[in-house]
Amino acid sequence: MHPSHFFAVLLFALCVSVVFGITMRETPRRMVRYGAYCFVLFVGAAIVLSWVMFLIAR
């Protein structure tokens, strides 16, 4: 299996966010919200850092 870097980031963020959401909050509604929050932060941070590295490398 040779996923693209971005797809690997999506898979990683999905799995980690599910576990973080379930273990760090107590009610199902807050679990979903926290999991979604973590997912967005993981993927957003990866995209921002990728652009920063791209601009530094130029």
Partner 1 sequence: MSTPPNRIAPAARNAASQRDAQKGFVYLPLIAGWLVPGAGHFLLRRWGRGALLAASILGMFALGLAMQGKLYTSGHEILDILSFVGDLCNGLPYIVSRALGLGAEQVQVTTADWGSRFIVVAGLLNVIAAVDAHNLRTGRKQG
- Give contact residues for partner 1 (rule: CB under 8 A): 1-3, 8, 11-12, 14-16, 18-20, 22-23, 26-27
In the bound complex, what is the minimum distance in angstroms from residue 54's beta carbon to partner 1? 17
C-beta separation of 35 from 17 below 8 A: yes
Q: Sign of dihedral through CA atoms 28, 30, 33, 38? A: negative
In the bound complex, what is the minimum distance in angstroms from residue 51's beta carbon to partner 1? 20
**Cα 39 → chain centroid:** 4
Which is closer to partner 1, CB of 1 or CB of 55?
Answer: 1
